[in-house]
Chains A and B, each alone.
Chain A
Amino acid sequence: MTTRPFEGVNILDFTWTATGPATLNPLAFYGATIIKVESRGRFDALRSLGPFKDGIPEPERSYAFAYSQAGKRYNITLNMGTPKGMELIKKLIKWADIVADSYSTGTMERWGLDYEGVKKIKPDTIMLRTCMHGHTGPLSKQHGQGFILTALSGVDSVISWPDRAPSGAYGPFTDYIAPQFNTICLIAALDYKRRTGKGQYIDQSQHEASMQVISPLILDYTVNKRDITGQGNRLTYAAPHGIYPCKGKERWCAIAVFTDAEWASFCKVIGKPSLAEDPNYATLLKRKENEDALDELVEAWTQHHTPEEVMKLMQASGVAAGVVSNAKDMAEDPQMKHYNFFVEREHPVQGKIPFYHGPGFRMSGADYEIGRSNLLGEHNDYVFTEMLGLSDEEFVQLVSEGVI
């Protein structure tokens, strides 16, 4: 028996870009009803961010938007700057259990829809507000995005070669870290509300949340005054430990040897069992001491094999190894396929999109449902007439007035 745990949970979604959907997707996967509010004048910024289907930069063609909106939603457009628009939004706030936004301080305030405002409309609302620096303090109005927040959060600093400035994370990495804290909080708040009848206000600073991940490195500074740095692909307690070139162009495999037993297995796999006894490499300390020569030795073998061969041979002998997967490898990876990670959905403008994906876990008693990204205002008719009960005449009138 599987169930849809969030059936009956309603979410009014004012978020935009990546953090909001990453937060709310898991709720959508498991049955929550989400209405995403956009406006034709100012739609979700991800719709303007490429890459685009066929290279045509139009709001319905953005892969960035499609990729982020994997949870099922209703999409409406509403001009919040009009009194009639505000009237409709108030009805939706009454409908919602959760109201979420991802603006810095000022935008929701301008509409009178900060937590105090929302609470007046519905006292037990759970409101999530997530922005770069939280909604208090001098930087509450600071705009930003995950492409640069990685610098402030220490994430970039651990992804670097020791002899160069940080190379940094690829993409808006904190946009994937920070939302997970929000999802945890929102579900806890739903449970809390069910037990106590009380709503909740969640004020997330994405900066504060992202730094949690590296707290041991922050302690290394507060205790030992040591700064956060990267060591390339090396690790103090493993050798070999790196990403090695394999047969083919830009083909790579990660290999990590921790114990002497793994080292002996590694030597057998590369056809040099006697190397295990070589005093230059027999212990971790010696392997660390001679790591440059060791890496050359590893490369001399890996370059004659495909990364898939390296991974399979090593793992079969108990040595950790993994193909450095590119997008094609990911699409074809047997483990990802085993879990049906990528799912194809038909999009009205983009056609078949095979990169929609569900959560990073699987539950024994609940199925997830993957939707597809919506067109702007795709569900205006349904939401405003069927859900909110506007007559067809009223609906047409509001459309012509530019409210919807």
Chain B
Amino acid sequence: MPAKLIVQGLSHHYPDEYTGESVHALDDINLEVEDGEFVSVVGPSGCGKSTLLNILAGLLPYREGSVTVDGNVIDGPGHDRGVVFQEHAILPWRTVARNIGHGLELQKVPKGERNRKVKEFIDLVGLEGFEDRYPHELSGGMKQRCAVARTLCADPVVMLMDEPFAAVDAQTRITLQEELIRISIATKKTILFITHAVDEAAFLADRCMVFSRRPGRLIATVDINIPRQDRNWNEMSSNSEFTRARDQILKLVRGEVSADEA
């Protein structure tokens, strides 16, 4: 079966906001994400990983290379690619339930079916009892759960996540990471997860792609061979595969930083 997400020879330049000079953000990116696979992309800040995500999301037009999802060349945003953003981007004027059902509403899915699916995803992310609350009444972690449920409820082919847990406190982040593992098992979603946190990249993903500093280039791929159901933070500190993968990713990321600064 062909990969769900295929990126071939993707390069990107954009003019700097102040100087007008052309910035080389991505350089010849090639990657594939298989059906049901969880891939993380890690790299130093300014390595173009957010640029990559915006291109995949269809929010940023690209000229060099090709990107296909399920065999279709992407050209603008679409509900085949769901995105969970770093900032809480759920709509403040919609209740939790209406935010989660928004994608289905846009696709004109009948109300009965919509409500049923909304309930399913509310249960999945543990927001029972908060259906009629507005986002400002939720904690940071709950807002991100709501955002994840909104994306999943629209049933995308690929879920793209742009440092979704960067803005929550450390305890909540650990909980959300474990929940995301559980959710990925339950939904079997294909997930591309962007982060600058090495621990997070190694904990969540089956495969981690390490980016260099600008221009962003894919320098290495690290496989993390741990069954998804075994992934929880209590076990990980003593899991040799996890520590090996984490240290390897860390070296790659740091090596890149020092090479650049030297």
Partners in one complex: no
Interface residues, chain A, with chain B CB atoms under 8 Å away:
none
